[in-house]
A and B are shown apart, each in its own frame.
Chain A
């Protein structure tokens, strides 16, 4: 009898819970409010939207949100083209002055005109040592100052000629009239920006989404999408679930080669494939095991690059041997590293490394055994294990060690072998000097981590950087490619692809070629977001 009210209470409670759930799953949303809105999933919440502080992942290459525009931008084939600039900039004959005309029809989202003073303000802010931005060091060491000559003309003065300088003018321009006099490090603008790009910043819901709306006065023409919602979902499987339930339209973070299969045969989605980073094994010359070039090259020969492509990239990747993307003009297509484990064994034997009782190579009582440093991740684990197996095959014992970035940097600086995803789709001059030039091999652990010290490599780098002639630069970088293979401290192994899933009713998706990094908004998948549109609500 009295049991009844407990049963009733329990029933009421569970009905209450069920009541919450009995509505249909309307994540595809209801009716009038949702037309021409697109929901894009990215991995992490950006820590700063101000392009002065770098791209949305805090890294390099002047990426910026579509809230902003930049002097120059990359087209679909990664050719530089004017954006806020009226035409391509003029470079003085000695290469130390770059003059840019700013177009006269661009306006900030608050209605003010965009002028050369804004351009000067932006780049001088980057150069200001009290502004905590890595971009100053990573991209603009060659830049001395920027002046606004008049409302439409800005002049960049360089310390020395910089072949890659124009490629660095893709940084988003910020409004002087909003930011002048403020401490940029702490400006409210950093999370509520005003730009001059195709989309207007509308709202940031912390931890969840950033909402942008179309800029009706965009100088670049009509914007196809009415609203763009960018949501932060770190976990890959969570993004997949949200795509499949219709909460997301686009995964812009990239899905693994195994994950992407579930979208490949589904007519509701389009799978976009963009060539990715180069898997790279670094063997620092400061490490006792890697002192001789012959030993480093033997290690390179022991790795079956095609097998890596088949195993790690599900067959959809490319074997590489040098630091530039396979179809880049700087890559010498005639250079390759043949898989030859017998030659590798012979070479190591010639250097005194003979198989011990357990098969591991021994010299003077020392076993050939080293740690392989790499970053956390499922794909990274698989790559490190593949290297371990390949080298184990010729008697080298490799111990893979997954570490956080800071600890990786420390160990690599101390001479540890490392496995990383690297690559540059742009002008080689952006980073080859920092990566291989002998002048950076001593004091500062940040550049030339493999401690390459070669006069011939230095000369090739300098020739490529100083020349204005594409044929001469091509020859210089082809030689650099050959010399690096000969040096053996950088073993470039394979290039996999980045995969993105987009719902099929989104049109205008035409990704940039050859943008390997997962980059935010002004590159790769989303570079032409202003041209996208959604066909159905």
Chain B
């Protein structure tokens, strides 16, 4: 049994990891294609006011950055360099190599996404269980109401609201950034600076999980074995938590994998509102400046995160559910 299970899991992981490079090349090609058809001109970043650049100056700058070749050749050139571990140099970041720059900027975003994901899962689970347990009571109605509002509200609006209440008005949290600007030798991020952006980011996805858990629980509660358990005289909470919840949790994992992509994408707005020094803000800048190596680097990083996140969710799913375990074995 155990050997079989590991075998199945191993195959799943191997298959996904083999497909990953194909996915990444396709994503990179799509990014190049999108940029090729977009109206943005990389030269505009070099011009100011009415003082335009001469055609010769533009040609020189394009040549210096290899932007004088057709886009498909630029892509092939880039692909060749990637095979040697070089993701290119970013005009937007002082001409520095993309990979180490991304590495340096990854941590704040990873911390923000990780915290928001944890908040979403825990918050969604607790709220869903509470709503199911007190179905149709004020607790349920309040949680449902909050869910509808948080799904409907755009994250920048939620973010501004949080800043207004908890920073400007109550003064509990700082008004943006990731660490005290005056402090020396600061760490990666200061937890107090993390709270509001993490909540704003989690708020965008929290409702999906809360409503999902609630509905799953209510459905499972109608299953025969739950009815049987209740008939045996087992109390409401043990039935809910010990019998119903584990079964409701399985699809929850898949949902987490899917919504990870939404959370990663949501960082663009949230980081801008909270001046959070992460990749989301940088992605916007890279797109505006048509800094292709940087833009592609960030896009690939996002893609890897989403693919690995989904894989992790699937692995957990299989480990948790013996039926799926056996069918793949």
Contact = CB atoms under 8 A, between A and B. Distances in A.
A242 B175 contact: yes
A2 B237 contact: yes
Nearest to B102: A206
B265 interface: no
A137 B105 contact: no
A406 B44 contact: yes
A406 B41 CA distance: 6
A12 to B, nearest CB: 11
A271 interface: no
Contact of A241 (B89, B168, B277): B168
Nearest to B67: A132
A245 B167 contact: yes
Contacts, number: 215
Given A27-B180, A207-B277, A233-B176, A132 B94 contact: no
12 contacts: A2-B237, A2-B238, A21-B166, A44-B285, A48-B95, A57-B48, A208-B177, A208-B179, A238-B274, A406-B41, A421-B49, A449-B50
B85 interface: no
A13 B195 CA distance: 13
Contact of A238 (B97, B275, B282): B275
Contact of B51 (A49, A58, A60): A60
Interface string A224-243: 00000101111101100110
Interface stretch (B11-19, B29-37, B53-61, B223-231): B53-61
Interface in B278-299: 278, 281-282, 285, 289
Given A37-B182, A235-B275, A188 B50 contact: no
B150 interface: no
Contact of A431 (B43, B51, B95, B173): B51
Contacts of A21: 166, 172-173, 192, 195
Interface in B199-256: 235, 237-238
A133 B61 CA distance: 7
A10 B275 CA distance: 30
A60 B55 contact: no
Interface in A129-182: 129-134, 136-138
Interface string A5-29: 0100110010001001111011111
Interface in B66-109: 89, 91-97, 101, 104-105, 108
B119 to A, nearest CB: 9
B5 to A, nearest CB: 32
A449 B52 contact: yes
B289 A47 contact: yes
B50 A435 contact: yes
Contact of B65 (A57, A185, A242): A185
A447 B54 CA distance: 8
Contact of B95 (A33, A134, A190, A244): A190
Contacts of B45: 47, 58
A20 B193 CA distance: 10
Please name the 8 residue pairs, one residue from A and one from B, whose CB atoms are nearest each other, closest first.
A446-B52, A207-B277, A190-B94, A59-B48, A137-B57, A406-B41, A208-B277, A132-B64
A132 B44 contact: no
A205 B277 CA distance: 9
A241 B175 contact: yes
Nearest to A517: B49
A13 B118 CA distance: 12
B258 interface: no
Given A134-B57, A235-B272, A48 B52 contact: no
Given A406-B41, A446-B51, 8 more contacts: A27-B182, A34-B182, A47-B92, A130-B63, A138-B53, A404-B44, A406-B43, A444-B54
B178 interface: yes
Given A50-B94, A59-B49, A191-B93, A231 B177 contact: yes
Contact of A9 (B95, B126, B237, B273): B126
A238 B176 contact: yes
B94 A207 contact: no
A434 B192 contact: no
Contacts of A231: 177, 181, 275
Interface string A39-62: 100001101111000100111100
A185 B182 contact: no
Contacts of B315: none
B174 A58 contact: no
A409 B64 contact: no
Contacts of A431: 50-51
Contacts of A447: 52, 54
A443 B55 CA distance: 9
A138 B51 contact: yes
Contacts of B50: 420, 422, 431, 435, 449
B184 A134 contact: no
Contacts of B89: 185-186
A407 interface: yes
B181 A245 contact: no
B142 interface: no
B163 interface: yes
B129 interface: yes
A39 B181 CA distance: 7
Contacts of A28: 182
B47, B101, B276, most chain A CB atoms within 10 A: B47
B104 A25 contact: no
B234 to A, nearest CB: 11
Nearest to B105: A206
B181 to A, nearest CB: 5
A29 B60 CA distance: 48
Contacts of A471: none
Contacts of A405: 44, 47
Interface in B298-328: none
Interface in B128-184: 129-130, 160, 163, 166-168, 171-184
B329 interface: no
Contacts of B105: 206-207
Interface in A392-416: 404-407, 409
